[in-house]
Amino acid sequence: MNSRIRFISAMLIFGSIGVFVKNIDLSSSSIAFLRGMLGSLFLIGVSIIIRKKPSFQRIRENGILLFFSGAAIGFNWILLFQAYKYTTISNATLSYYFAPVFVMLLAPFVLKEKLTFIKIASIIAAMIGLFLIVNVGSNVTEGSFNHTIGILYGLSAAVLYASVILMNKFIKNLSGIETTVIQLLLATLVLLPYVLIKDQINLSSISLQSGIYILILGIFHTGIAYFLYFTSFKDLKAQSIAVLSYVDPISAVVFAAVFLGESMSLIQILGGILILGSTYLSERLTAQLSRTP
């Protein structure tokens, strides 16, 4: 399997997460904890098979960043899964994909990068897109949904995801898969006391359907997907990765429509195009300008 196919496969797997989470009858924190536990155990097994031995010295050197980024990943999942409960997968996914906008906003302060005119225009376009998705003026509640709350959860998850992206910029001398294994383990350990106090998981009370979906979420959507994701990086250009990443949100919208019957209004579709298109064009134009002599 070549790198491009591996990367697209990972994006398609990530895009189907919402469909499975919607069908698991557990709290968001319990789902996040079980996902992290199963995913990290799977990747540890893979690391042993491929004889990828982590360097404990390098892990210690990056210990603080690994801890906080791992914790951010765990709570990021909780917030995203909460978004799925309160709004449609389309709304949750598109608001979650506001993360690149938060990265652009924070990069001048954290990474000392310039906030160019192109990036400012992209941020404004994405904000207009978000406004259209929220669709101010329409009913924020619809059936079992409360779209405003769901979108706020999605945006909160995006903030945490953006923080993980920025923290990973400072992690040194660890491969992508090493970093991910440690972060997933730490996410699981950080979530454990939270879940024990708040939810008190009783594994015997989990239905057969939920149990199967949890296994799929942990092994397939986390372990296998992350393995495909990181093993495809070395042979792909950064620009290809940026473009192909949009397979995730687009497939999420398609899966939600096909399997859950969710739909988007024309205005919301336009909002989604503005959010995804603005970040895509920002990446493309910035890359082109950086190559200009």
pLDDT tens per residue, range 119-157: 888 888 888 888 887 764 345 556 667 888 999 999 999
pLDDT at 293 over 60: no
DSSP string, 59-111: HHHTHHHHHHHHHHHHHHHHHHHHHHHHS-HHHHHHHHTTHHHHHHHHHHHHT
pLDDT level of residue 292 (50, 70, 90 thresholds): very low
Burial class (CB within 10 angstroms; exposed 0-12, middle 13-18, buried 19+) of 46: middle
Give pLDDT, residue 32: 95
Say what the pTM is.
0.88
Pairwise CA distance, residues 51 & 48, whole Å: 5
Number of domains making up the chain: 1
Domain that holds residue 90: 3-291
Least-confidence region, from 18-22, 77-81, 153-157, 235-239 = 235-239
* Cβ proximity of 20 and 200 under 8 Å: no
Mean pLDDT value across residues 170-196: 90
pLDDT higher than 50, residue 64: yes
CB 24 within 8 Å of CB 136: no
Mean pLDDT across the chain = 86
Residue 135 to residue 201: CA distance in whole angstroms: 37
Which pLDDT value is given to residue 153? 96
